[in-house]
Chain A
Amino acid sequence: MAASHKMRIRLGQMATLLSALAVLEAIVRAGWVSGLILSPPSAIALAVGRDLIGVELWAGLKTTALEFVLGFFFSLLLGLPCGLLFYRFRFIGLAVEPLLLAFYAAPTILLYPVFLTLFGLGSAAVVSMAVIFGSIPIMVNVSVGLAGVEPIFIKLGRSLKANRWQMFWKILFPAATPVIFTGLRLGFTYTLLGIIAVEFITFSGGLGKMVSWRYFIFDTEGLFSGIVFVILIAVLMNSLLRRTEDRIRARWA
């Protein structure tokens, strides 16, 4: 019963997607919208095929992937210790966390000229901007997660004479794991978005530049093909992480 219900929802989703594509195709083919603005899905599919056997996509993907790995690495490198610091010295955390969240709500991406002048046009500027996006959710969630550990667990640890190391690794850290993991997932996603957005605006390289270039040369099909790849990567990564997160949360519930 439950399985068939799920199946039906999946089928419904597929049908919605396919009919949206069919409508798009019809609109463009009928000439209601210029092919320069929207490409028919069939043409996009062909462009995707061309990209798959071409060089540009893979070169761009390589640059983006490299920048992403660096970006996420530095997001962790900055986020984890800061999160610990905010937890350990609660007054710092209480002072800084609201500022960080406020800063996060602002369109930080507009700061990119500053980073361009600081680091020059290239991967360094892209990565450092992405670290701003990626590290904040990590530090906030590490700190909030640790601070939210049930006091009874800490009391239990004290009654069992856990040393500092055991208290952290066997009680605090595992107890905070679901919240910390959410922070990692957000950090991961925002690092990726940051990388592609900055590549797009600054024209420095990678998938972002590829999409932006195609936009400038009126290669509409190629533009949409690039967008398809970017979306595919982001959605795939996110759903993978979400599934892991659900498994963790199910265990902790």
Chain B
Amino acid sequence: MEELIAVTKVRKVFEDAAGNTGGAVEAIRRVDFRVRAGEFVSLLGPSGCGKSTLLDIIGGLERPTSGEVSIAGERVERPHPKVAMVFQLMSVFPWRTALQNVAFGLELQNVDGRSRRRKALEVIQLVGLAGFEEKYPSQLSGGMNQRLAIARALALDPDILLMDEPFGSLDEQTRFLMGLELLRIWEETRKTILFVTHSISEAIQLSDRVLVMSARPSEIREEIPIPIPRPRTIESLTTDSATRIERRIWEILKVEASKGLIGNGRKS
């Protein structure tokens, strides 16, 4: 399979507000990895480990201090047209209806009203929100709003979805169900997904591979393949081999998370 995302020797240093290097913070020391087309890969790490920064770099919102990211062989310098991002909760606009929110990206691209509506209705159907087109976000639950954010990204027909803890503010059960929904959408659309999370169970539930990151300044500690067969169910996720994977990741993270606790735990 072809390599769709290539992250090569990426390093990121944030200078302090005054711009002098004395107060600079090294967020990412050196990160290298590849993602093949159609893969579901998670970036898992302790809070403040720079995983969101890494995702922003891949999304073209931040420039790396050194190293480079390329998508389909093209070096990323600004948001790539084939990439859509999904952020944590409440990035949907409260002043737009569900339909208008989903169509937002297309509207920015000056797609005409009728095709916009057709595409938006199609993805709303896909994320299971049919019937809620004219509702406002305040009339929908947290999980439904997050479906909207996913639909808004899908409406752009991206090849790659970059998801930054999209279910981070949902309760555990909703989160699990949203995970199953996301897998269904992923299987239907065959997108490539890079998913940032700090939840071990979520990473295992969803991914083909989990990249476990160290505390800041971050590196990839280990790459853990998740050979649990798909479609994943409660049964397949609670077998001995699944539990063994979870324990293994815990052992790596235990060390890293406590480093994060001792160091200054700035939120990423």
Contacts and interface: CB of A to CB of B under 8 A. Distances in A.
Interface stretch (A57-65, A82-90, A155-163, A235-243): A155-163
A166 interface: yes
Interface string A137-170: 0000000000000101101101111100010001
A159 B136 contact: no
Interface in A2-56: none
Interface string A58-98: 00000000000000000000000000000000000000000
A177 interface: yes
Chain B interface main SS type? loop
Interface in B128-151: 136, 138
Contacts, number: 49
B136 A251 contact: yes
How large, as a class, is the contact surface on chain B? 20 to 34
A251 to B, nearest CB: 6
Contact of B138 (A155, A161, A170, A253): A253
B87 A160 contact: no
Contacts of B90: 150, 152
B104 A160 contact: yes
A182 to B, nearest CB: 16
B94 interface: yes
Contacts of B78: 161
Contacts of A161: 78-79, 81, 108
Contact of B87 (A156, A175, A253): A156
Given A175-B93, A252-B94, A159 B61 contact: yes
A175 B93 CA distance: 8
B95 A158 contact: no
Interface string B51-82: 00000000111000000000000000011010
Contact of A251 (B60, B79, B81, B94): B94
Query: For this complex, into which size category does the number of interface residues on chain A fall?
Result: 10 to 19
A247 to B, nearest CB: 12
A174 B108 CA distance: 15
Contacts of A251: 94-95, 136, 138
A156 B105 CA distance: 10
Contacts of B156: 160
Contacts of A166: 108
B91 interface: yes
Contact of B79 (A152, A159, A170, A253): A159
A192 B99 CA distance: 41
Contacts of B59: 159
A166 B107 CA distance: 10
Contact of B85 (A159, A174, A177): A159
B88 interface: yes
Contacts of B94: 251-253
Contacts of B81: 161
Interface of A: 150, 152-153, 155-156, 158-162, 166, 170-171, 174-175, 177, 251-253
18 contacts: A150-B90, A152-B90, A153-B91, A156-B85, A159-B59, A159-B60, A159-B79, A159-B84, A160-B104, A160-B108, A161-B78, A161-B79, A162-B108, A171-B93, A174-B95, A175-B95, A251-B136, A253-B94
8 A-B pairs with the lowest CB-CB distances in the bound complex, closest first? A159-B85, A152-B91, A160-B105, A252-B94, A174-B95, A156-B91, A159-B79, A160-B108
Given A170-B104, A170-B108, A251-B138, 5 more contacts: A156-B85, A158-B61, A160-B105, A170-B107, A177-B95
